[in-house]
Amino acid sequence: MSSSLILGSFLAASLIGSPALHAADASQASATSELTTPKHRLETLFGELKREREPDKAREISERIRIEWQDSGSASVNLLMQWAAKAMEANRQAAALDMLDQVIALSPHYVEGWNQRATLHYQMGNYRKSMSDINRVLAIEPRHFGALAGMAAILTSAGKDELALRAWEQFLDIYPADRKAQEQLGELEEKLAGNRT
């Protein structure tokens, strides 16, 4: 499998995340939701993610973070996001883009609206627009590891390996147990070391 395909599949998984909750995930999400505010829950989860060294446990924490990000606090925005996800799955990109534009207009500080539009632009090959949306995601939530993975993938495909390396380093500072990110960082370090000799 080519590195661009690996990066693309990693990007899609990182940016989109898993839409379905398993029973165990639901109970963990329920326990986390007992904390006071979404901001407080995210702070707690990011602390756990940074400390966790076991990849499977870290993945569970990352899924709980994604669940927190998905809830906009608005029933209308949440519904538009569901419709956009279904349109993306059905390869109806223009419809999905229209819905995500509406999400952003209705809720410009909702991080997942920008993130999903970045993912869609990436899938459509609009890397400049995807990178612009990624920058908006990171302005709202600098710890958005999915957006950092997307940024690293775009930078790698553009041949900007040193910048991609920095994006992976930022990703791993937030989510140290992610094996795919560790592999991508290692490959870039080897490539850059080879270029310097």
End-to-end CA distance of the chain: 27
Counted domains in the chain:
1
- pTM for the full predicted model: 0.81
Domain at 32, CATH number: 1.25.40.10
Cβ contacts of residue 4 below 8 Å, gap of 6+?
Answer: 157
**Listed residue (77, 85, 81, 67) closest to 29, CA to CA:** 67
The neighbour count for residue 173, using CB atoms within 10 Å, is 12
CA angle (26 as vertex; 145, 151 as ends), nearest 5: 10
pLDDT of residue 34: 55
Q: Among positive and negative, which fits the CA dihedral 170, 177, 4, 112?
A: negative
Hey, what amino acid is at 116?
A: Q
Q: What is the 3-state secondary structure (H, E, C) of the chain?
A: CCHHHHHHHHHHHHHHCCCCCCHHHHHHHHHHHCCCCHHHHHHHHHHHHHHCCCHHHHHHHHHHHHHHHHCCCCHHHHHHHHHHHHHHHCCCHHHHHHHHHHHHHHCCCCHHHHHHHHHHHHHCCCHHHHHHHHHHHHHHCCCCHHHHHHHHHHHHHCCCHHHHHHHHHHHHHHCCCCHHHHHHHHHHHHHHHHHHC
pLDDT of residue 6: 41
Domain that holds residue 88: 3-196
pLDDT in tens, the chain (197 residues): 444 434 444 444 444 444 444 444 444 554 544 557 989 999 999 999 999 999 999 999 999 999 999 999 999 999 999 999 999 999 999 999 999 999 999 999 999 999 999 999 999 999 999 999 999 999 999 999 999 999 999 999 999 999 999 999 999 999 999 999 999 999 999 999 987 76
pLDDT of residue 28: 52
pLDDT of residue 10: 47
